[in-house]
Chain A
Amino acid sequence: QSALTQPASVSGSPGLSITISCTGTSSDVGGYNFVSWYQQHPGKAPKLMIFDVSSRPSGVSHRFSGSKSGNTASLTISGLLPEDEAEYYCSSYTSSSTLVFGTGTKVTVL
């Protein structure tokens, strides 16, 4: 199972919005509404930010939102804050009953 494709880096100014893409295939992203997004700060464990394409766990800011079109899912962070600077990973359920993660995107707040 190949990793889902994410841009290596995305940057934005405080207060503005950015979008991170996550591209897979019809056997994973395109075939199921089980796309999740994780935030990971250096040296820390990942934190779930979005699940089931667009649902937010309790406690996650409304500034984080998710969507999907075809084989590509997206995470949008609006009103960028300095603490949003981190690595972000998408994940998807697959037709083999396994999970696959994305390659990861480094978000920089300028």
Chain B
Amino acid sequence: QVQPVESGGGVVQPGRSLRLSCAASGFPFSSYGMHWVRQAPDKGLEWVAVISYDGSDKYYADSVKGRFTISRDNSKNTMFLQMNSLRAEDTAVYYCANDHGDYAVPLIWGQGTMVTVSS
């Protein structure tokens, strides 16, 4: 079963940090680019970041650039999202997904992990 599984969400105060994980199984993780996409409560989808299969290329949405860092550990089939200087507007369900190709198509999505930024 191809299914990424996100973890690490929770409630955090504004200005603090949180690290999300995405554990992958059912597909050759080290051969796929990986995406993070988020969805604020009752809002639409917002792309966050993508990392190449080997971690050499990373791209970010302007809204998170300089605050969030995407990374991966292919030996553990796991991707990460380090989120610093969190703001209330970062509150959302965070999904990870593998890439269909060309880092342009999130393919199989996990069920998401909720991040709430609140004092």
Residues of A within 8 A of B (CB): 1, 3, 32, 34, 36, 38, 40, 45-48, 51-52, 57, 89, 91, 93, 96-104
Contact check, B60 vs A45: say whether CB atoms are below 8 A apart: no
A36-B105, A99-B35, A101-B44 known; 13 new pairs, CB 8 Å cut-off, are: A36-B104, A45-B95, A48-B106, A51-B100, A89-B45, A91-B45, A93-B104, A98-B47, A98-B61, A99-B104, A100-B47, A101-B46, A104-B44
Q: A47 CA to B37 CA in the complex, in Å?
A: 13
Closest 9 CB pairs of A and B: A34-B104, A93-B104, A99-B47, A45-B109, A104-B44, A101-B45, A51-B105, A97-B59, A36-B105
Q: Which size bracket describes the interface of B in this complex?
A: 20 to 34
Residue in chain B with minimal CB distance to A46? B109
Is chain B's interface secondary structure helix, strand, loop, or mixed overall?
Answer: strand
Contact check, A48 vs B107: say whether CB atoms are below 8 A apart: yes
Contact check, A38 vs B45: say whether CB atoms are below 8 A apart: yes
- Min CB distance B3 to A, Å, is 10
Residue in chain B with minimal CB distance to A105? B44
Q: A1 CA to B47 CA in the complex, in Å?
A: 11
